[in-house]
Structures are given as C-alpha cells and as structure tokens.
Amino acid sequence: MDAKKTIFSAPGKIILFGEHSVVYGHPAIVTAINLRTKCIVTESLQNEIQLSISSDYSLNGPSAGLKREYTMNKEQNEFIAQYSNYEQPVNPAYYFITERVLHLSASKKYPHIHIDSEIPPGIGLGSSAANSVASLASLSAFMELELSMEKLNELAFEAERIIHGRPSGVDNTISTYGGIQFYKEKKFSQLNIPNLSSYVVIVNSGIPRNTKTYVEKVAKLLEEDTTKYQKILEEIGKLTTIAKSNLMEGNIQKIGDLMTQNQLLLEKLGVGHPILTELTNSLVQLGSLGSKLTGAGGGGCVIGLFDDYQKANRAVEEMKNKGFQAFISSLAERGVQVEQ
Ligand code: MEV
C-alpha cells in the first residue's frame, strides 16, 4: 500500500470508577466518550519531518483556529517550534512516537503529521492518550508499518509515561480499544452492558490541574500515612468491583449511588476541591442519579449520571447558564478507527 494520506481518530475518556486506586493495582471502570482527536498524515513538501497542531476544543472555545507548526530536530531530540512565541511547549510524546515509528518502518518517506483535537487538555478527559493513539495509528499506516493493536497500545503507554510519570495505562487502553472497560493492572475486559438509557453530563470546573502532580500527591500521602491511605484506595477498589456487577445487571440507580460514594472517598484521599463538590451537589439537585469528579481531581471535570435525556439536557443548560462548559456524552464510544 502506498499511502498518500492517512487519517485516524481516537477517543477521549472518562473514569466512571477507580481513579488513583487504579495506579496501585485496584480496578477502574472507564468509558470512551464522544470527543476525539484526529491525526492526518501526508507527505512533507519540504523533505523534513513536520508536525502541526490545531485545536478546536469544543469545551474550550478560546483556542479554536490556532495552528502551531514544528520541525523534527534529531540532534536535539525534539520538535522545534517554527515561531518561538507559542505559549504551549510541544508535547515530548510526539517526538518519541515519530522516532519509534520511523525507526520500525522500512519506508523512507518524510511525513507531515497534523493533530486536530476536540478534547480539551488538562481536564481529565484523556486528551494526551487520544493524541498518542491517533498519531501512532495514522503515522504507522502512512509509513506502511503494520502495528498490532497490542503494540499500538504498548507504545501509547510509553508515550503516556513520558508525560505523566507513573500512569496506570487506563487512558491509552480505553482510547485504543474503546467501549466500557473494567481495567486492572494493564489487563482489561470489555463490559457488555445492557442497552441502558443512560447519559453522562460532563462539566468542566475551569480549575486547571495536572495529572502528574496529583498522582505524585497521592504517592506522598501514602508514604506519610500508609495505613490510612491504603484503606481508602482499597475501599475505592471494592466499590469499583461492586459497580461492575451492577453495570452488567443494568442497575443504574445503584451505579449512581456508588458514584457518589466514590466521590466521598476521593475527597478523603485529598484530590477533591470545594468547587468540584459544589458542582457534584448541583448535578444531583438537577436530577443526576450520582455524581463525582473524573480523572486526577483537584480541578478538571465532574460527571453526573442521568437516566433521562431531557433531564441531562436541562442540567447542561443550567451549568452553561452558570458559566461552566458542559456537554452530554453517551457511554461506550468506539476506540481508534480509520477516517475517510
Ligand atoms: C488519570 O486519568 C487517572 C489517574 O488514575 C491516573 C492514571 O490512572 O494513570 C489519576
């Protein structure tokens, strides 16, 4: 196959149960959502390896239309920005991914890699994993390299380690395979849930935070008071296992209760925030069956589970009126896929 242009997309995610405890070998339940990153690879016209990034975050309007351009520099082991005044440094995972794929491929083509993401970064929706998965899939196809899904997921995990330090691997796995997964120690099973009428409302608190910082914070707390924090992580693990059977039985009311219990445990773990608590309470008042933060905490997003689309829609409108970015996602969206 002589690919002139390859396009792949990969989804973001929300953790329904088990963030942080999953880093310590307990299970998590995670679902792919309806926001995606698209990666388009074409032949570079300059005989250079190029990267461009444009973001049109549907939750973070202000960065729409911005496009940043970079060229690969092998001496410095990084992509160098075309203009030095870009606010964000380029994610080092892109260098790693490009270098690895080019090394494994026999093709001598010069790729131009374009990333177009609708997943806002830094709010717990798995944007970095989706970027890595989409770019690995698209670049390897362009370079005529056949990567198995396992290999793709493994390389995306390595890329995640460069960004997050000590990730569990849950973000890259859900972005690769999609669906709803019960994930534990790098093994996952797809949960075949009954056709529930269930919707998740996702609200961005607007409070910035960093996954690595919060994973490190929990590690430090564990060192300081191992008994206390290990017990909290174990309780989250147990609750996640109970949530799995309830999900499979379609017991949506109970899943909501368990989400609220998970939120209380996350607050005890020290990754809550007063605004997140306020938002979870508001979602429950607006008819959510249960609500919690999602991702590393300290800021980022909260989620609320609804069994009624109208109610979910009203909650989104209410949150927007209060000035928050909010949207509805269905559960179990598709993993990495080719796009036309
Ligand atoms: C990040 O999306 C979730 C955490 O559990 C970290 C991880 O699993 O890598 C906080």
pLDDT in tens, 222-240: 999 999 999 999 999 999 9
Pocket test for ligand 1, best of 166, 168, 183 (most atoms within 8 A of CB): 168
Model confidence, pTM: 0.94
Token couple for 305: 């589970």
Neighbours of 118 (CB within 10 A): 20
CA distances from 19 to 36, 128, 237, 297 (A): 21, 16, 9, 9
**Mean pLDDT value of segment 330-337:** 94
When the pLDDT of each residue in the chain is averaged and rounded to a whole number, the result is 93
Mean pLDDT of 60-73: 71
Atom of ligand 1 nearest to the CA of 296: 10
pLDDT in tens, 30-42: 999 999 999 999 9
Residue 16 Cβ inside 6 Å of ligand 1? The answer reads: no
**Model pLDDT, residue 140:** 98
pLDDT at 61 over 80: no
Answer yes or no: is pLDDT of 305 > 90: yes
Find out whether the beta carbon of 20 lies less than 6 Å from any atom of ligand 1: yes
Angle at the Cα of 29 (from 8 to 283), degrees rounded to 5? 100
> Does 58 or 162 have the greater pLDDT score?
162
- Is the pLDDT at 319 greater than 80, yes or no? yes
pLDDT at residue 2 in the model: 56
User: How much of the chain, in percent, has pLDDT values that exceed 90?
Assistant: 84
Q: Residue 203 is encoded by which pair of tokens?
A: 């609200």
Q: Is the pLDDT of residue 28 over 90?
A: yes
- Distance of alpha carbon 234 from alpha carbon 229, whole angstroms: 9
Q: Which residue, by CA, sits nearest to atom 2 of ligand 1?
A: 295
Residue 57, pLDDT > 90, answer: no
Q: What is the pLDDT of residues 266-290, one digit of tens each?
A: 999 999 999 999 999 999 999 999 9
Pocket test for ligand 1, best of 22, 161, 182 (most atoms within 8 A of CB): 22
* Ligand 1 contact via 160 beta carbon (within 6 Å): no
pLDDT per residue as tens digits for the range 80-113: 998 776 767 789 999 999 999 999 999 999 999 9
Instruction: Tally Cβ neighbours within 10 Å of residue 154.
Output: 16
- Domains of the chain: residue spans and CATH: 5-189 (3.30.230.10), 199-329 (3.30.70.890)
Q: Does any ligand 1 atom lie closer than 6 A to the CB of residue 18?
A: no
pLDDT digits (tens, 9 = 90+) for 192-211: 888 778 899 999 999 988 89
Instruction: Please give the Cα distance from 218 to 224 (Å, whole number).
Output: 10
Q: How far apart are CA 115 and CA 112, in angstroms?
A: 10
Whose alpha carbon is nearest atom 10 of ligand 1? 296
Closest CA relative to residue 109, chosen from 205, 2, 193: 2
State the pLDDT confidence band at 60, using cuts at 50, 70 and 90. very low
pLDDT digits (tens, 9 = 90+) for 238-264: 999 999 999 999 999 999 999 999 999
Task: Provide the pLDDT for residue 64.
Answer: 52
Q: What is the mean pLDDT of residues 128-144?
A: 98
At 45-56, the pLDDT tens digits run: 898 999 999 876
Radius of gyration of the chain (CA): 20
Entry field: residues in the chain: 340
Residue with tokens 């963030």: 19
